[in-house]
């Protein structure tokens, strides 16, 4: 039986490895898990013994096929619960991440399949992230960061890279959500800040914001 902690490490490795495609160092994993490098190394060795990761000393770890399957299943549950919390229980998008972190460890596959059907088989969560289907397949959309946008073009907001409550509350305060139209007016060469028009109002966003907001050309 896989533990909650093991699932969290496997999910972290999946995200850090760019969907299981790259080796992840134990230092990077330790930072993501907010623990000591020695603790991360011990856990990776334990996961390797269970054939969830391939581990190479001084190089790091990468998920095996069974490890990737576990990671994708946890991500599927997390994102389905976020949809449920927002669409059915009317939580705001900045409230649901931590709740979904708890719910994602529910083991019942029957419950998750029924939840998926109840929600109408959503393809994306409230933050714009793709939800894998029961076979582990994702539906990706073409998107770029606001930082890559062209001046005098209009885009739709389609997702966020940073799903922290602080960033989402910042977006809420500026009336930016999924589907919001964003017109790019000017890009500042000095600090890479960007002047945009949202809901008829002009504002300047920092490069940090521009690097965390996904958009799609209208």
Tell me the CATH number of domain 144-217, given options 3.40.50.300, 3.40.228.10, 2.30.30.90, 3.40.50.10140: 2.30.30.90
- List, by residue range, all CATH 1.10.10.10 domains of the chain: 4-63
Residue 19 — pLDDT band, cuts 50, 70, 90?
confident
Q: What is the pLDDT of residue 1?
A: 84
Residue 66 — pLDDT band, cuts 50, 70, 90?
very high
Euclidean distance between CA atoms 9 and 6, whole angstroms: 5
Q: What is the pLDDT of residues 76-114, one digit of tens each?
A: 999 999 999 999 999 999 999 999 999 999 999 999 999
Euclidean distance between CA atoms 105 and 129, whole angstroms: 19
Q: Which pair of structure tokens corresponds to residue 167?
A: 């960033």
Q: What is the pLDDT of residues 173-196, one digit of tens each?
A: 999 999 999 999 999 999 999 999
Phi, psi of 58 (to 5 degrees): 70, -5
**What predicted TM-score, i.e. pTM, was given to this entire model?**
0.92
Q: Which helix (H) or strand (E) holds 202?
A: strand 201-205
Residues in contact with 142: Cβ distance below 8 Å, sequence separation at least 6, in sequence order? 216
């Amino acid at each position: 039986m896989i533990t909650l902690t093991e699932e969290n490490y496997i999910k972290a490795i999946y995200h850090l490895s760019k969907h299981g495609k790259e080796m992840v160092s134990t230092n990077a994993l330790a930072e993501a898990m907010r623990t000591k490098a020695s603790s991360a190394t011990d856990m990776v060795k334990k996961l390797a013994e269970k054939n969830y990761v391939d581990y190479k000393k001084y190089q790091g770890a990468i998920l095996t096929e069974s490890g990737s399957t576990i990671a994708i299943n946890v991500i599927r549950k997390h994102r389905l619960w976020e949809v449920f919390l927002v669409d059915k229980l009317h939580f705001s998008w900045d409230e649901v991440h931590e709740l979904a972190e708890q719910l994602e460890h529910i083991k019942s596959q029957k419950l998750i399949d029924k939840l998926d059907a109840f929600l109408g088989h959503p393809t994306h969560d409230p933050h714009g992230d793709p939800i894998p289907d029961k076979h582990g397949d994702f539906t990706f959309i073409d998107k770029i960061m606001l930082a890559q946008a062209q001046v005098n073009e209009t885009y739709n907001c389609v997702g966020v890279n940073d799903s922290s409550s602080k960033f989402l509350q910042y977006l809420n305060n500026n009336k930016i959500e999924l589907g919001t139209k964003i017109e790019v007016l000017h890009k500042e060469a000095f600090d890479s800040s960007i002047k945009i028009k949202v809901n008829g109002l002009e504002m300047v966003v920092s490069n940090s914001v521009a690097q965390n907001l996904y958009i799609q050309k209208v």
